[in-house]
Amino acid sequence: MTSFQQARIDLGSQLRQLREAAHLSGKDLAERLRWQASKVSRLENARQTATEDDVVVWAQAVRAAPDTTDDLIRQAISLLERHDDWKQRHRSGLAAIQEDIRDLEARTKLFRVFEPGIVVGLLQTSEYARYIFQKVKRLYSAPDQIDAAVRVRMQRQEILYDRGRTFRFVVPESALRTRLTPVDVMRGQLDRLLAVSTLPNVEFGVIPYDNELPSAPINGFWIYNEAMIGVATLTKDLVLRDPDDIAFYVRAFDDFCEVADFGHEGRAHIIRILHDYGKQSSH
Locate the domains of the chain by residue range.
3-81, 86-282
**CATH T-level topology, domain 3-81:** 434 Repressor (Amino-terminal Domain) (1.10.260)
Q: For residue 247, give the amino acid letter.
A: A
- pLDDT for 33 equals 92
Instruction: Please determine whether the domains at 3-81 and 86-282 fall in the same fold group of CATH.
Output: no
pTM of full prediction above 0.85: no
- Degrees to nearest 5, angle at CA 169 with 92 and 120: 30
- pLDDT for 82 equals 60
Q: Do residues 152 and 95 make contact, with C-beta atoms less than 8 angstroms apart?
A: yes
Chain-centre distance for alpha carbon 29: 26
Residue ranges, the chain, pLDDT below 70:
1-2, 81-93, 95-96, 140-144, 282-283
CATH superfamily for domain 86-282: Endonuclease Chain A (3.30.870.10)
- pLDDT for 83 equals 46
- pLDDT for 7 equals 85
